[in-house]
Amino acid sequence: MAAKAKLFVLNKLPEAVEARLKRDYDARLNPDDKLHADAEIVALSRGMDGILTSPTTPVGAGVIGALDQSVRIVATFSVGFDHVDLEAAKARGIAVTNTPEVLTDATADMAMLLLLAAARRTYEGQKILREGRWIGWRPTQLIGIGCQGKRLGIYGMGRIGQAVARRAKPFGFELHYHDQNPLPPAKTEGAIFHADVEDMLPLCDYLTIHCPLTPETRKFLNAKRIARLPKGAVVVNTARGPVVDDEALIAALKSGHVAAAGLDVFEGEPKLHPGYLGLENAYLLPHLGSATLDTRNAMGFRALDNLDAFFSGRPPRDRVA
Ligand code: DGY
């Protein structure tokens, strides 16, 4: 029987995923979910055939350059792979895989949750209840923003953007989207395509962000673009924090130009810009988009399917480098 491939698993993973890992690999697990510094990743990867990481533990050029020659693959437990330096991996001949598709629905659900929670002022509502400040139903209390007849702009019409369109349509939104190219109408729920995002922004009563983080999308939502949104817009981000310029969004939430924001992702996670914390019109969650058991299991199994393929000499389905 061939020896099992040696895998360094950088995060604690769901039980069912770890069970499969233990069965099929000689795995160095991380039961305490300890965060490893770069030097530790390099040291603990010695003699390993592969690494299984996640957005929490970046594998940058410095780490990749210093990895033992034994490491031939970096699999990430995520659809996003901006935390792995693909160019450095390619230069070393290291394969990189991700886990697309399996978290589309959970993330789109979360975008809708954030959209509604932010627009309907649910954080403020929770607060007055829990702090014993509720004085009873009032016709003018915590008036939020509805969905019916409002325009929702989707920035990035990939799998998750499309899943948001499917969910948002029955809420009564007029849908708009920007992507590099128009999609076949069957995929867009009748959303109106804008080749230039600058043309879409003034129409966005709501804007939801679903692009990957790339040099082009970093700080996409800056002060200039926020100014193009209609006054009182709602902004949702379940993609990556650095796509938003925090200073600009915080200023707009303070001035009311942006009425509310629902944010699941932040630049510099797990830290976030302290300016958000005091804002009652910012509905904040700690990167929970894919956090359902089914989804996290599916992500783990998809990562393992890729590793299984790689180590048995077949092309991994989700190879990104
Ligand atoms: C991903 O997979 O990239 C997500 O951000 C994790 O939910």
pLDDT in tens, 262-314: 999 999 999 999 999 999 999 999 999 999 999 999 999 999 999 999 999 99
Tell me the pLDDT tens digit for each residue of 219-271.
Answer: 999 999 999 999 999 999 999 999 999 999 999 999 999 999 999 999 999 99
CATH architecture of 104-284: 3-Layer(aba) Sandwich (3.40)
Per-residue pLDDT band for 202 (boundaries 50, 70, 90) equals very high
Query: For residues 92 and 69, what is the distance between their CA atoms, to the nearest angstrom?
Result: 9
**Is the entire prediction scored with pTM above 0.85?**
yes
Domain with CATH 3.40.50.720 in the chain: 6-102+293-311, 104-284
Query: Do 223 and 207 touch, CB atoms closer than 8 A?
Result: no
Distance between Cα 289 and ligand 1 center (Å): 7
Q: How far is the CA of 110 from the centre of ligand 1 (A)?
A: 12
> Cβ distance 305 to 3 under 8 Å?
no
Among the options 240, 273, 296, 302, which is catalytic?
240
- Name the CATH topology of 6-102+293-311: Rossmann fold (3.40.50)
* Cis-peptide, bond into residue 286, ω within 30° of zero: no
Q: Please, which residues bridge with residue 248 across strands?
A: none
Residue 23 annotated among the catalytic residues of the structure: no
Please state, in angstroms and rounded to a whole number, the distance separating the CA atoms of residues 79 and 95.
15
The CB of 241 under 6 Å from ligand 1? The reply is: no
d(CA 93, CA 75): 14
